[in-house]
């Protein structure tokens, strides 16, 4: 089982986002700390948040990444475009 980071990576209809960066991913993976609990590493969703260092996150979570989703994005204030 793996989770995909929030897409879009900003609140929608007032609902908060759950997985947008390292702190969220750390919490999620530690909650059920078994190899089967993993991450869909979406470079697009993670790179759209300026605070994320995507190459560092990829290295950090390589052993818990079950699927990689690559795409290019542009970052605009409160707008996610792919």
pLDDT in tens, 8-24: 777 788 888 888 899 99
28-52 tens-digit pLDDT: 999 999 999 999 998 888 887 788 8
Confidence (pTM)? 0.80
Which residue, among 33, 65, 29, has the nearest Cα to 54 in the 3D structure?
Answer: 65
Give CA–CA dist 20/57, Å, rounded: 11
More confident residue, 47 or 66: 66
- pLDDT score, position 3: 82
Q: What burial letters (b/e) apply to 59-82, b meaning 16+ CB within 10 Å?
A: eebeebeeeeeeeebeeeeeebee
Q: How confident is the model at residue 79 (pLDDT cuts 50, 70, 90)?
A: low
Domain residue extents for the chain: 2-81
Q: Which two tokens stand for residue 72?
A: 């290019």
């Amino acid at each position: 089982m793996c989770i995909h980071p929030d897409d879009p990576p900003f609140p929608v209809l007032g609902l908060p986002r759950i997985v947008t960066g390292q702190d969220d991913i750390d919490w999620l993976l530690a909650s059920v700390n078994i190899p089967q609990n993993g991450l869909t590493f979406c470079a697009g969703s993670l790179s759209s948040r300026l605070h994320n260092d995507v190459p560092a996150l990829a290295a950090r979570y390589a052993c818990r990444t079950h699927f990689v989703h690559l795409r290019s994005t542009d970052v605009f204030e409160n707008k996610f475009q792919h």
